[in-house]
Each structure stands twice: as structure tokens, then as C-alpha cells.
Amino acid sequence: MQAFAAFVKNPGSTRFDNQEAGERILFLVRRHWFTQLPRVFLILFLILLPLLLPWPQILGSLVVPIRYKALFILLWYLLVVAVIFESYLNWYFNVFLITTDRVLDLDFWGLLYKNISEAGIDHLEDVTSSQGGIFQSIFDYGDIFVQTAAEKREFEFIGVPRPAVIRGAIATLMGQHQDDH
């Protein structure tokens, strides 16, 4: 179920703009689910907020017809659904791709802004992974830093699953490319 996967090895049918003939995606990586917990807690708080508020004290002696209360609650939950949808899209479309030829960082914010950075395997100079803290060790997620000789000097992939596997795959590609030249 790739729609909710944060780490996909060889995502067969997945394609991206400007993918070259013969270029295969080796890894598709998104932020680890554990890094999304603050947003999940915020959404749960927003869902429960109308139930937790002391409405008689807030409204005081103001008499509000039931249809206006219902309209307010409907609008509130539409806002919550919009926050949920935006959170999912933000997580889903911010992707790190490792292909046979390059490394890509696809960043989307909202519905209107995207930033795509890429570096060919021949421009990669160094790859580092780091894991720190008990949660990153338990849930096996961390950060990947890729140094390049390209226009964008460093790629940072924060909070990704299996950082040692990803670092090893990139290092292997770098070694294979050096052996080819």
C-alpha cells in the first residue's frame, strides 16, 4: 500500500517528470510516520476542541439559535478536514527519490509551490546518515545528508526511515559510478 508507505524499495509503476529512458527508481522515501505524531495530536485536539469548550461561559447570556451553532460546528469540522487533507498531501508529496542515475528531492508546500532539486550520481561527493535519541533508535529513522558538487551543495532528508539502508544504497551507487569511470 504505497499511499501510506514511507519507505518503498523498487516502486515499479511509480514515475516522475523528466525521468529518462532506462532510469529506474530504486527507493521512494517520505518522512517516517513517527515524525508526524505532533500533527496527529494537533488534529485530535482540533477534533475534540468543540466538545471540551465550556460553551455556556463562552456565550454568556447570548442566545444563539441552534442552526447557527450547527453551522459553526459544521464549519469547524470542515476546517479540520482541510487541515487533515493538507497534512496528508504535504507528507505524501514531499519525497526523496534515489534512482539509478540521480538523487531527487521533491518538496511541495500547499497546493501551489514546489521545489525540485536533483543531483546526478556522478556529482555526489559524500553521504552521511545520523540517528540520535531513543525514539530514532527504536523506530529506525533519522537524517540523511548528501554532499554534492552540483548547484545545490547539500541535500538534507530529515526524519526518514532506515537511514543506514539509504546511505548504503547511495554509497553503493557512488562506488559503482566511480568503477564505471
109 pLDDT band, cuts 50/70/90, is: confident
Is 96 part of a structural domain of the chain?
A: yes
When divided into structural domains, the chain yields a total of: 1
Is 6 part of a structural domain of the chain?
A: no
Q: Which of 58-62, 89-93, 151-155 has the highest mean pLDDT?
A: 89-93
Rounded distance, CA 88 to CA 112, Å? 15
Is 3 part of a structural domain of the chain?
A: no
- Dig out the grid coordinates for 134 from the structure: 531513543
What CATH number did the domain enclosing 59 receive? 2.30.29.30
Report the pLDDT value the prediction gives residue 28, as an integer from 0 to 100.
93
Q: What's the chain's average pLDDT? A: 86
Show the domain range for 37.
Answer: 26-181
Rounded distance, CA 59 to CA 62, Å? 5
pLDDT (mean) for 70-99: 91
Pick from 32-36, 132-136, 137-141, 148-152: least confident: 148-152
- Which of 148, 140, 136, 133 is CA-nearest to residue 165? 140
Contacts of residue 114, Cβ cutoff 8 Å, sequence gap at least 6? 93, 106, 107, 108
Rounded distance, CA 37 to CA 41, Å? 6
69 pLDDT band, cuts 50/70/90, is: confident
